[in-house]
Structure formats: structure tokens, C-alpha cells
Structure 1
Amino acid sequence: MTTTARTALLAVALLASAPAFAQDIAAGERSWNKCRACHQIGEGARNLVGPHLNGLFGRHTGAVEGYAYSSANKGADITWDEAKFAEYIKNPRAMIPGTKMIFAGIKNEKEIADLTAFLKQFDKDGKKL
């Protein structure tokens, strides 16, 4: 194989393995403003209209202590990961019919990726990783 062919093959492999969007935490924090009326995150976060979102990824639906979830959320049997969150945040009521979350959703994939990056910074205690 020639050097040019190897270089081209390497470039294709790198592009194929690259994420679709570079995540921008600062943009995710701006997007978080859509969430903060109902949710808190960070050290000292508490439940409001919605549960706090510390340690969201890897957490099971209905698992935040002290928050009164709908039976739909309790029974949803979802463990939050990036893909489930992206699906949910586009249209919460479509994914979990009967949820108490009244939110029109975020449809833009880049904004969802940025918001995800922002949320993933916080562990279950609200400390930044």
C-alpha cells in the first residue's frame, strides 16, 4: 500500500470514529437555562418542580430521594445514558407518557449534545468531575 493510500485510509478511519458533534460545555450551560426553572444541578442542588439532575447519567428513572415522581416515571424502567436522554429531551411526553414534565423539548441535535456535556460534568453529589 502506498503512503498516499495509507494516509487516505487513516483519514477516513479517523472521520468515521469522530463524534458527530463536538460538545460545547459553555453552550450547554446556556441551554441549561431552559431547564433551571424546574431543576437544579451542582452542590447543594435540591428538588424543585422536577428532581435535581446531579449524577443523571447512569441513574435509573424515579430514583432521586425525596422527589414525588409520577407513576409513569417510576415505571419507565430507564437508566439514563446519552442516547436515552437525547430521545427524552426531544419530547418527554412521547417517551414517557404520563410524565409530569411539561416541556416542549429540544429538537436540535447540537444543542442536545452540548446540554449533555454540561450535565455530565456533575456527579451524584453535584461536584464537577
Structure 2
Amino acid sequence: MKMMIIGSLLGAALAVPALAQDGDVAAGEKDFRKCRACHMIQTPDGEDIVKGGPLGPNLWGVVGRKIAAQEGFRYGDGILQVAEMKPDMVWTEEELAKYVTDPGEWLEEQTGDAGAKSKMTFKLNKGQADMAAYLASVSPDAASD
């Protein structure tokens, strides 16, 4: 019985490694090339960390930033609904890892609305914790653990 419980706990831990374990910043930086078609990382003084597209919000400082709070960006209704329902919620590495796994599912989980839609159609199938760790590394206001 004891072994079954340990096995179950181990299986559960292995089932969500990308969301529950520390990420690799260097691997996340490498994987960010998948994101730069839509997103840039640009400092407030205009320095391009990663040149990218304007379809998604600038991800400089995203960890620690309130949800849907990038000035000048036109967010979709689903994420705006989350921001309205949870005005004090900020992006954490854990929430970003969940979001990039499946943005629509994350919105549904946050709002309770199965019809909540995301403008972000891309889903990251692996390396979510790495991506979140990289985004934290370009987020000077992120809380350190």
C-alpha cells in the first residue's frame, strides 16, 4: 500500500514536470524564437532584447505584471475578463507556464466560462517551465523565490 501511494505521488509529479519544477533560462531563451513572430522583448528605454512582431504584447517585465496590463496593447475579451474578475492577479512563472500550454483552457479555468476565447492560438507543448523562467529573467520586477 505504501509503495502504491509513493508510486502515485511520483507519477503525479512526473505528469506535470513543466509546470511544477524549475525551468532552464537558457533553454527558454532558445525556445523563445517560437514566440518572436508575435512578441518582442523591449526594455522601457527602447532596447531590443528580442526583436519581434507586434501581434502580441511586449513581454519585457511580464512576470510580476498585472494580467492584460501592457499599455497600448489591444487584448482579447477573454483575458480582459480575467483582468476584470481578478484585478490584483499578476503573471507568475507558474501561471505563464499554464497559459502557454493552452491559452484557451487557462482562460476557461480562470473565468469559469467555456466560451472564453484567447487571441493567442499558439500552444507550447514542452518546455513551458523553461519559457516561464526565461520570461522571469527579463522581468526585473519579478518576485524572487
Asked if 2 retains the 8 angstrom alpha-carbon contact of 1:56 and 1:124, the reply is no
Whole-Å Cα distance in 1 between the matches of residues 100 and 136 of structure 2?
15
Q: Does 1:51 align with 2:57?
A: yes
Report if aligned partners of 1:55, 1:122 keep a CA contact under 8 Å in 2: yes
CA distance in 2, matches of 1:40, 1:124: 16
Q: How many residues align?
A: 103
Deviation at 1:72, TM superposition (A): 1.6
Give, in whole Å, the separation in 2 of the partners of 1:60 and 1:34.
Answer: 24
TM-score, normalised relative to structure 1: 0.69
- Residue 113 of structure 1 pairs with residue 129 of structure 2: yes
* Structure with the larger helix share: 2
Q: CA deviation at 1:30?
A: 1.2
Please state how far the C-alpha of 1:40 moved relative to its aligned partner: 0.5
Render the CA deviation track for 1:41-85: whole Å, top value 9, x for unaligned. Answer: 133258710100111111112200010111221121342112211
Distance 2:62 2:69 in 1: 10
**Separation in 2, partners of 1:35, 1:114:** 13
Q: Deviations over 1:64-110 (max 9, x none)?
A: 0010111221121342112211111110111122121121x1232xx
State the distance in 1 between where 2:70 and 2:53 align. Answer: 9
- The residue aligned with 2:118 is 99
Amino acid at match of 2:92: D
How far off its partner does 1:123 sit? 3.0
1:24 positional shift: 2.1
- Cα RMSD after superposing both structures: 2.3
Return 5+ residue gaps in structure 1 as ranges.
Answer: 1-19
**For structure 2, which runs of at least 5 residues remain unmatched after alignment?**
1-19, 84-88, 108-115
The alignment's TM-score, normalised by the length of structure 2, stands at 0.62
Q: Is the 8 A contact 1:47 1:67 kept in 2?
A: no
Matched-pair identity in %:
36
In the other structure, the counterpart of 2:26 is 26
